[in-house]
Amino acid sequence: MLDKSIVEGNSSAKAQELVMKVFAVFGLINYPLFFILEDVVLNTEFWFRIVAVFLCLGLFCVLKFKNQKIKVFYWFCTVTYCLPFFTTLFFSILF
């Protein structure tokens, strides 16, 4: 199910890496910022946010690897953890 252009290292792989970097920057700013703005009490949400921050931070490190399969696998793991969990969390808080 991996995108062949990413695995083979075509020029669109560079565009994919740019998307990964933008998401990592977004995650590094978004997840701690909203925790600070909402509440400073250490609860379970804090630990989920810390894991998300470290996954986004690790994304920068993984992007330096030459192996495209590792990059894509780590990217999918990061997005799979960060996006659905926090979207569900925010909707449950709002409604």
Q: pTM surpassing 0.75?
A: no
pLDDT at res. 73: 92
Domain range summary for the chain, segments of one domain joined by +? 4-94
pLDDT in tens, 73-95: 998 999 999 888 777 766 776 66
* Residues 5 and 13 sit within 8 Å (Cβ to Cβ): yes
Listed as ranges, residues in the chain with pLDDT below 70 are 1-11, 38-44, 89-90, 93-95
